[in-house]
Chain A
């Protein structure tokens, strides 16, 4: 019999079991095909790869990813809606040796938390921010987010978002790239294999920047929300690849090495 050895397995920095509830402790709470699960895995791989599990502090937001602390076996804080970059600032300044990650969705970061992210970026805090953009409020049932695409139907824009009625989608990477302080800003996506592997490299890079003290690092990940978009997971991935990247151009906006 040929012998096979594992090359990719569940990353170490996930807990063995998730004690969120009494049953189903081996599954995440995410819907089938959710982009968060993929971003969690890429992030966990990066933490493992850099050997920083023991000094990583993950700041969980409000949104679907609110339960990240049930999954990542690192230091964890869960904070008020949108305030993750402010709390991450405090944690990093009081524990400079720690690696502080602010994990946020688009409703959290681009709406209620738009002030916090803007000023944390403007101060050039030595933190890493991961911004999962699925163009909608997933947890609360599909309301329009600041990043919802024009024409996209949501429960609060049932006729489709219009520029005249609801404004244009906010391009957070471009906005932050207008500031002097950030060291690294890139937008990646989960639309196909190539994009996922690019996202894996960029997330690792954003953490590496913090290990090296390079400065504020920001990664926006265009992700699918199959359930609330009302699509099959594979169809939703296609929507990310073909529609979302049309509004939100992928690419690097800042790369200043420390």
Chain B
């Protein structure tokens, strides 16, 4: 069965603060081992388990850092 939600993280806007990782209820976000062009470890989606709750969007301090999607009905 498809996940109810999905999340897109803008790795070049991300400053690697980790607040979304902390906020995520199903714990499906993590900080990447790689660096983005500014030297931060950007947050990334592990790829499965997102419920589309949207809390990471509100916890993220960057305006366009996170886009939350939900399965179209």
Binding site for B on A (CB under 8 A): 2-11, 14, 24, 26-28, 30-38, 40-42, 44, 71, 192-193, 196-197, 200, 226, 232-234, 237
Residue of B nearest to A38 (CB): B61
Bound: A197/B52 CA distance, A: 15
The answer to whether B58 and A42 have CB atoms under 8 Å apart is yes
The answer to whether B19 and A233 have CB atoms under 8 Å apart is yes
A2 surroundings in chain B (CB, below 8 A): 2-3, 71-72
Q: Which of A26, A197, A232 contacts B55 (CB 8 A)?
A: A197
Label chain A's interface by main secondary structure. mixed
Q: How many residues of B contact A (CB 8 A)?
A: 35
Q: Which of B22, B23, B67, B69 contacts A10 (CB 8 A)?
A: B67
B40 surroundings in chain A (CB, below 8 A): 32
Q: Which of A6, A10, A35 contacts B61 (CB 8 A)?
A: A35
Label chain B's interface by main secondary structure. loop
List the 6 shortest-distance A-B pairs measured between CB atoms, nearest first. Answer: A37-B61, A33-B17, A10-B64, A32-B15, A4-B69, A2-B2
What distance in Å separates the Cβ of B24 from its nearest Cβ neighbour in chain A?
Answer: 9
The answer to whether A44 and B63 have CB atoms under 8 Å apart is yes
Which parts of B41-64 form the interface with A (CB within 8 Å)? Answer: 52, 54-55, 57-64
Bound: A119/B62 CA distance, A: 34
